[in-house]
């Protein structure tokens, strides 16, 4: 998949590819919304691999809307992108799946001076409680919310999801190396679910200085080619 990205500013990374692979485990189909799409990487990969997906996205940065639309066209994927803040998005029909690699760095973290990076990375731009409430409003009953987040905030994630009557049913922690603490957590939640949580084996990104075998398989399956450019 060819993906055009900004020459400077936020670019997708391994988090997006690992999330895409995690999402595929839940057989996405029907109406799928990618929240904070950036250049479109997560949603476009999911749509490429799952022919029953009807893909939409929401992205508030105008520059990224242009990149996402160009990438969809380049890869022959039907795509509707809303240029909007997710919290103010209004649609006629609810979704079967909402997926997202949202901004999750906490407000106390040192912020980037680059405006594009700031909006893509920091949770002040999409506060967790507001984010989850809007997700719950836009999902069909018993539908799916699949996303990644800062692993240190997992307890708060569960508490905030509970407030909007959503439950974590699958969770997988991502560790840079086997002896390192988790950096992100990938989460599958459902609204109105009574299922117990399934905790997956940890995902290890690197074995020594080399990518783990699982990481290599995901990169090979994604098969992305990044082109840095201005559009």
Q: CATH number of the domain at 121, please.
A: 3.40.50.150
In a domain, 230, yes or no: no
H helices within 13-172, ranges in order? 14-24, 41-49, 62-74, 115-121, 128-138, 154-163
pTM given for the model: 0.92
For the chain, what is the domain count? Answer: 1
Strand partners for 222: none
H helices within 95-174, ranges in order? 115-121, 128-138, 154-163
In a domain, 9, yes or no: no
Q: How far apart are CA 32 and CA 79, in angstroms?
A: 10
Residue span of the structural domain in which 135 resides = 15-223
The alpha carbon of 209 is separated from its chain's Cα centroid by a whole number of angstroms, namely: 26
The alpha carbon of 175 is separated from its chain's Cα centroid by a whole number of angstroms, namely: 17
In a domain, 1, yes or no: no
pLDDT grade for 7, boundaries at 50, 70 and 90: confident
pLDDT grade for 220, boundaries at 50, 70 and 90: very high
In a domain, 148, yes or no: yes
In a domain, 109, yes or no: yes
* Coil, strand or helix at 173: strand
Question: 43-60, pLDDT tens digit by residue?
Answer: 999 999 999 999 999 999
Judge whether residue 110 has pLDDT over 60: no
Q: How far apart are CA 176 and CA 73, in angstroms?
A: 34
């Amino acid at each position: 998949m060819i993906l055009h990205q900004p020459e400077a500013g936020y670019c997708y990374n391994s988090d997006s590819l690992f999330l895409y692979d995690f999402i595929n485990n839940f057989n996405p189909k029907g109406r799928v919304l990618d929240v904070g799409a950036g250049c479109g990487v997560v949603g476009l990969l999911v749509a490429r691999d799952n022919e029953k997906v009807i893909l939409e996205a929401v992205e508030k940065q105008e520059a990224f809307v242009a990149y996402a639309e160009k990438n969809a066209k380049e890869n022959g994927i039907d795509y509707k992108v809303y240029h909007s803040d997710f919290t103010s998005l209004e649609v006629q029909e609810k979704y079967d799946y909402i997926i997202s690699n949202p901004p999750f760095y906490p407000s106390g973290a040192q912020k980037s001076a680059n405006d594009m990076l700031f909006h893509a990375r920091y949770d002040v731009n999409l506060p967790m409680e507001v984010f989850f409430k809007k997700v719950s409003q836009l999902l069909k009953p018993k539908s799916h919310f699949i996303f990644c987040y800062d692993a240190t905030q997992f307890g708060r994630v569960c508490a905030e999801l509970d407030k909007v009557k959503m439950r974590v049913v699958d969770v997988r922690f991502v560790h840079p190396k086997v002896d390192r603490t988790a950096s992100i957590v990938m989460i599958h939640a459902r609204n109105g679910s009574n299922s117990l949580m399934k905790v997956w084996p940890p995902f290890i990104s690197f074995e020594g200085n080399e990518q783990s075998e699982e990481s290599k398989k995901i990169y090979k399956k994604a098969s992305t080619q990044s082109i840095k450019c201005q559009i």
